[in-house]
Amino acid sequence: MTSPAQREANRANARKSTGPRSAEGKRASRMNALRHGLYARPGLLEMDDATRAAFAAAHEGLCAAFQPQGRYEAALVRRLAEIDLGLGHMAAVEAMLLTPQPANGDNAAAGVPAPTRAALVRATRATLVRAALANLSALDRLGRIESRLQRAFRHTVEMLERRQALRARE
């Protein structure tokens, strides 16, 4: 049980903790609750130019394929582009987890004789297996997230197609 003095001390402490005050501190702390950002909408996270271009290309291609009419269909197509972007990020993260880190920083096989090159390929495969085993829990989590994104993509396509079928009947 908390004493009255302790409660008052807790309240005084709470009044001092008001969060970041500077713009830099607020900018730094606004993403504190974000775990990985794979479900985040592109507007939430800052996008670099390459990501922005990939999103624009995906959105443009999906608009050409579905030809949305109205705000609802446009929102569904935008969501498809967002999910597509997330799936692309999943592939990049998976590749990063499976990329072997060379011990000496040099993994070039140019100019290596064929028998040695074959041994290098076997060693690289073994390194890939070791990397996969070392990152097994991360890969498992990644697989679950990827499955959710794929289901969301299929569901959104189904919603969009139903909406367009209704519109066609009108």
pLDDT digits (tens, 9 = 90+) for 38-87: 555 555 456 678 888 888 999 999 999 999 999 999 999 999 999 998 88
Q: Indicate whether 12 belongs to any domain.
A: no
* Domain assignment of residue 104, yes or no: yes
What does the CA dihedral 131, 135, 136, 142 come to, rounded to 10 degrees?
-120
Give the distance, in angstroms, between the CA of residue 152 and the centroid of all CA atoms in the same chain: 14
Query: What is the model's pTM?
Result: 0.59
Q: Is residue 80 part of a domain?
A: yes
> Domain tally for the chain?
1
Domain span at 102: 36-169
Q: In this structure, is residue 4 part of a structural domain?
A: no
- 103 C-beta neighbours (distance < 10 Å), count: 8
pLDDT in tens, 90-148: 888 777 777 755 555 444 444 545 555 555 555 566 666 666 667 777 778 888 888 99
Question: Would you say residue 87 lies in a domain?
Answer: yes
- Is-contact 60 85, C-beta < 8 A? no
Say what angle helices 136-169 and 70-98 make with each other, to 10 degrees: 160
